[in-house]
Structure 1
Amino acid sequence: MSMTTGSSPTTLPNQPAGRVAVVIEDDADIRNLLSAILTQAGFTCHASGTGAEGIEAVRSHQPIVTTLDISLPGIDGFEVARQIRAFSSTYIIMLSARDEEIDTLMGLDAGADDYLTKPFRPRELRARIEAMLRRYHLPGLTESGGPAPAAVPAAAPGAAPGGGTAAVDDHDDEAGWLEHNGLRINEEMWLCDVDGSTVELTRSEFDLLLAIMQGARRVISKDALALELRGDYATTGYVSDSDKRAVEVHMANLRRKLNDPVGAPRFIETVRGVGYRLADARRSTARR
């Protein structure tokens, strides 16, 4: 199979609607290989050979998954990731021939969710993508791959039907929300807000926050969070120092978006040498 920049998207017959991927890669052979892997996995694939074209492809096609090379002509992959993150929550898998830990951390800090070193095994890439889709239940899609119904906007914390007020329980299971100190997260609608204001998170940031919210005051180790990020791909249970550093980078980005300083946490507390847990709850009236 061949595919060149600017060509029509590659598809397979009877492919589920809504499964869209973007490949940003300047090497034509690798671009074609990635397009073939994603197409065989059931995606409509749009390929771009430069960073600028890739950014526009993500903006136009709103993909679930984006593969991104670091060494691109013009704008490098780190800057492409930063620009994409300004408007999209697509799952970014950064690909590079560089295998130094600093490159991995720079990629994650720029907004990538995962990092894979070239040469990569096609089965490994596909396994990571499929694990990601299972972890997130295809946000915005039904289980069959078709578009999901539009989510109903969430009421602000404390708002009751009809305009009254009500306090919010820390675990408002009936509505599908988990709440803590004004921070709310809904796994099914893939929404997060703080004091009624929406917070845009990457899929990895959302996954970390959800695990901590579900754990409440129980400490969640970095090892456990690293395995959570790897989803079903975590078959051995082995967690490297690089995996732990990746968790730290995602956590730092998450805290920045939540405006939650380490020294005076409102939401996430660091247990030094162990992991993370929810910070102490503020005194508030519990909703019944």
Structure 2
Amino acid sequence: MEGMDKMPALSSEGTGYRALVVDDERPLAAIVVGYLERENFEVAVSYNGVDALARAREIDPDVVILDLGLPGMDGIEVCRGLRTFSDAYVVMLTARNAEMDTIIGLSVGADDYVTKPFSPRELVARIRAMLRRPRNGSADEPRSPEPRAGEIALRVFGALRIDVTGREVHLGESPVMLTRTEFDVLAALSSRPGMAFSRRQLIEAVWGESWVGNEHLVDVHVGHLRRKLGDDAAASRYVNTIRGIGYRMGTGQ
């Protein structure tokens, strides 16, 4: 298949972070690869969706930079496929006039988006901000209040249990499978249950203070989170909408 025999092997040196760049515009892909390699990422590249899914299974990337407008299998289908086996961060590259496609991309599991034309330096900075957020099994400290030595950071809201240290969520006895971004939004809200968070405050807590773009990105991730929690936006138990402000953690009752 096209692209498979031309993908570079991952280098043995670097940050330990693996990136997969997926774009059929080869000159643009080469620029993004170059910037990431200068930041000591281990980088692979693919030029179509089928190859991208195969490569992602092979290398288990930490982050995927994914063009939405791929020929054949587009970025939305690739992202949907990735989410069946990978918890990698996904940054979608979109055209400025593709707002609806961007929202659809976020709804199938993308974590962030960057509109074309974009600054590769800004893209790399955004990726680094993502990777500073803790992963499952990471030794990094969580953003939320630190547990005391030997204490499990368990937050309980009715039937919902959030283990911040283990980055696990249960609804009753059933585990809830969240993306890393969905978990981070839930962790931020549950860190201060009585506080109404504005979209900007959630963006700063989850995506970082330097993030720029449409703040309704938060609404898409909240909507996805609510669906997974079986939460009704009209009578929410876990994530309450505070009209004119943003969101607040509910009591679970």
Q: For the superposition of Structure 1 and Structure 2, which TM-score range results when normalised by the shorter chain?
A: 0.7 to 0.9
Judge conservation of contact 1:51–1:77 (CA < 8 Å) in 2. yes
Q: TM-score scaled by structure 1?
A: 0.76
Root-mean-square deviation (Å): 2.3
Match of 2:131 in 1: 133
Aligned partner of 2:248 in structure 1 is 277
Q: Which sections of structure 2, spanning at least 5 residues, go unmatched?
A: 141-145
Deviation of 1:140 (Å): 4.2
Q: Which amino acid aligns with 2:35?
A: I
Amino acid at match of 2:13: N
Please give the alpha-carbon distance, in whole angstroms, between the structure 2 residues aligned to 1:103 and 1:281: 33
SS in 1 for 2:9: coil
User: Matched residues in 2 for 1:220 and 1:53: separation?
Assistant: 40
State whether residues 131 and 232 of structure 1, in contact with CA within 8 Å, keep that contact through their aligned partners in structure 2: no
Instruction: State whether residues 135 and 180 of structure 2, in contact with CA within 8 Å, keep that contact through their aligned partners in structure 1.
Output: no
Letter in 1 for 2:234: G
Query: Matched residue pairs, number?
Result: 243
- Preserved CA contact (<8 Å) 1:24 1:69: yes
Q: Which of these residues, 49, 52, 61, is aligned with residue 51 of structure 1?
A: 49
In structure 2, what is the Cα distance between the partners aligned to 1:208 and 1:267?
Answer: 12
Aligned residue in 2 for 1:181: 158
Q: Which has the larger radius of gyration?
A: 1
Cα deviation digits, residues 206-237 of structure 1 (max 9, x gap): 11111111111221122211333331424xxx
Partners of 1:255 and 1:112 lie apart in 2 by 16
C-alpha separation between the residues in 1 aligned to 2:105 and 2:201?
A: 22
Contact 2:155 2:161 in 1 (8 A): yes
TM-score by length of 2: 0.86
Describe how 1:100-179 pairs up with structure 2 within 5 A: 100-134=98-132, 136-142=133-139, 174-179=151-156
Q: 2 CA distance for matches of 1:37 and 1:140?
A: 28
Task: Specify every segment of 5 or more residues in structure 1 that has no aligned partner in the other structure, as ranges.
Answer: 144-170, 283-288
Maintained 8 Å contact 1:185/1:193:
yes
CA distance in 2, matches of 1:192, 1:40: 37
Percent identity for Structure 1 against Structure 2: 37
